[in-house]
A and B are shown apart, each in its own frame.
Chain A
Amino acid sequence: MDIIKTEDIVKDYILGKVKVRALNGVNLHIQKGEFVAIMGPSGSGKSTLMHILGCLDKPTAGEYYLDDILVSKMPKAALAAVRNRKIGFVFQSFNLLPHLNILKNVELPLMYGGMSRHKRLAKAREVLQNVGLGNRLKHKPNELSGGQRQRVAIARAIVNDPSILLADEPTGNLDSQSGGDILEIFKDLHSQGNTVIIVTHDQAIASRAERIIRIKDGKIVDGNSDS
């Protein structure tokens, strides 16, 4: 079953007076439970693709089905709900809220999901324990190492049990030791049945995935299951 299916996705940007085509007909299929790396040089369109897959952006043309739901035509408010329930983001620069302790950071998606305070605290605590930070709940992000911060970000991404986990260069800001630890966590999550998509330009990281999708000049050039 395809958890992600795109049909001829095109994305144009207007830069000043020039129209730039970032994606030029992307047909992508990712199965439920896969561990996929999306690779490409900078400017290839891989970030744009990730934003569309993450429902942060809408394609100019083409269709995107997530969990068999046509999300590319959804209104903004509905997309917020999709991001909240079906997508977990992990960013290169962690993107934790600096003034909140890590428990509150992880709680955030549950709050926007409308879960009661009591339940979401319990859930956030549990997930943080699973990534090995159960004893740091009241710490602020700047009191943690880079590797620990990325683990908090992963906890936040999975706390809502999303359909896909989207990681954008998740080890880019980490030393190789903690980068390796983070990749291990992704592998564990994958082995537990999660669908993991890592966007990277690093061959060594991409090779840890089951499948590598290569993208260049806005098109998939290799690795799609159909091609």
Chain B
Amino acid sequence: MAIPIAESLKLGIADILMRKVRSIVTVIGIILGVMCIMVVLAIVNGMNKSTMSWMEERGGLSKIEVEQNWQYDFSKGGDPSFTLKEIRYLQSLLPEAEAFNPSVQEWEAIITKGDIRYSTSLRGVMPDFVKVEQWDIAKGRFIKDMDIDLHSNVVVVGSTVAKEFFGNSEPLGQIMSIGNQQFTVVGVMSERFMQSQGGQIGMGDNALEYLNQRCFIPISTMISKVNPISKISSIDIRAKSPEEAKELRRKVENIVLNLKNGKRLFQVTSAKEQMDTMQANAKIMEAIFILIAVISLLVGGIVIMNIMLASIRERTREIGVRIAVGARSRDIFLQFLVQTILITSLGGVLGILFGFAILDKVGSYLQIEVLASVQMIWVALLVSIGVGLIFGVGPAIRASRLDPVIALREE
């Protein structure tokens, strides 16, 4: 003949309504704790999303990069570059790679056409460049194998370069000068765009604008005609999937190491593994934030426990009366536990509402992307119920163990 939970709920709601002000004061700690959790989860969500999209924009998780190892001690000798022959050899050993593109970069190349002078980052690349970068051609064609073999003077320009030089007129087939060489424009890259986060100075709102300012020529032309002292020191490779990228990275690393007689002249990294590292770092951040939330919830819980204890002291006589008319220990226990949980859930709901309300403001204040999710609501609700459970049990046990004789004597 236990009284059902529904009765305890009704009792609890009636108690809360009767002591509105106290109930609100009681839950301030919980509200703050839950708001904290909401904000934390939204920040972590947002961080993960922007890391993801950054990675995607940079070529996805299947990308592997071979770059010069700047930590290498050059007193041991060695040349941190590849010849075209070595590149061809390396490529032949990696048939499983989806794409393979070495590149040579000339950071400050001057392009001229008539009166227009434009300083740009010029890249000597191979046809797979578009596959590695997952970057489409907007107009014309990209560099072909034939161009590599023939050391052709063809150039593919970024969208900003095309605008600067040709405005609205047709860029294809136009001639421009790079160094002392004449190049024919054969293609225009599509425009790359990503909303920039926060206020990186001088970047405008497109975090990828620097890509639109680049020009691409055959790698063979680059090292034979444009800049004979430039060397091939970086290769981008794309695996068929992020999972295969790890395996492929190890293989490339071994081949390069053999090619260079065991000297670690190059380092080979995979986006997938970098991403994993970044996410592990994000987890640490998350843990710290969660710790803050837990502390504020603990404080909130202790406040609630104290208020419940005071409330029970105040209601000792009522408890005595309830016991005298037949309430069992369990009934009294449930009455107070349910009441505590109701109060903390109320705090949880308010915390969720206020949390949503301040999310955007926090985001714009910290200049980071915040991302709300339904899962956050469940986490926040469960946590507030959990706090009620944890901190309600003690007072509820105390109430249920009251001696009715003493309780009834209480004034």
Residue B93 at the chain A interface, CB threshold 8 Å? no
Does B327 sit at the interface, judged by CB under 8 A? yes
Contact at A97–B323, with CB atoms within 8 Å? Answer: no
A114 contacts the other chain (CB 8 A) = yes
Interface 9-mer from B42-50, B76-84, B314-322, B386-394: B314-322
Q: B318, B322, B404, B405: which contacts A112 (Cβ < 8 A)?
A: B322
Q: List the A residue with the shortest CB-CB distance to B324.
A: A89
The answer to whether A112 and B327 have CB atoms under 8 Å apart is: yes
B192 at interface, CB cutoff 8 A: no
Interface residue total, chain A, C-beta cutoff 8 A: 25
Query: Are A112 and B331 neighbours in the complex by a CB distance under 8 Å?
Result: yes
Q: Which of B1, B322, B325, B329 contacts A114 (CB 8 A)?
A: B1
Apart from the given pairs A108-B322, A112-B322, 7 other A-B contacts in the complex at a CB distance below 8 Å: A56-B404, A83-B323, A84-B326, A89-B325, A95-B324, A97-B321, A113-B326
Asked if residues B408 and A91 are in contact (CB atoms below 8 Å), the reply is yes
**The 9 nearest A-B residue pairs measured at CB:** A84-B326, A114-B1, A80-B328, A112-B326, A109-B325, A56-B404, A95-B321, A112-B327, A83-B326
Does B150 sit at the interface, judged by CB under 8 A?
Answer: no
Measured in the bound complex, the distance between the Cα atoms of B323 and A96 in whole Å is: 13
Note all chain A residues with C-beta closer than 8 A to B323. Answer: 56, 80, 83
Shortest C-beta distance, A153 to chain B (Å), equals 10
Bound: A45/B344 CA distance, A = 45
B1 — which chain A residues lie within 8 A by C-beta? 81, 84, 112-114
Return A108 CB to nearest CB of chain B, in Å: 5
Measured as residues with beta carbon below 8 angstroms from the partner, the interface class of chain B is 20 to 34
The one of A76, A89, A99 in contact with B329, judged by C-beta atoms closer than 8 angstroms, is: A76
A57 close to B405 (CB less than 8 A) = yes
A77/B330 in contact, CB under 8 A: yes
Mask, B1-16, CB within 8 Å of A = 1, is 1110001000000100
- B116, CB-defined interface residue at 8 Å: no
A97 & B318 in contact (Cβ 8 Å cutoff): yes
Contact partner, A83, options B14, B324, B408, Cβ 8 Å: B324
What distance in Å separates the Cβ of B282 from its nearest Cβ neighbour in chain A? 50
Least distance between B137 CB and chain A CB atoms (Å): 75
Q: A150: shortest Cβ distance to chain B, in Å?
A: 14
Q: How far is the CB of B11 from chain A (nearest CB, A)?
A: 9
- Does residue B201 face the partner (Cβ distance < 8 Å to A)? no
Complex Cα distance, B36 from A193, in Å, reads 65
Whether A54 contacts B326 by the Cβ 8 Å rule is no
Contact yes or no, A80 B326, CB < 8 A: yes
B229 interface hit (Cβ, 8 Å): no
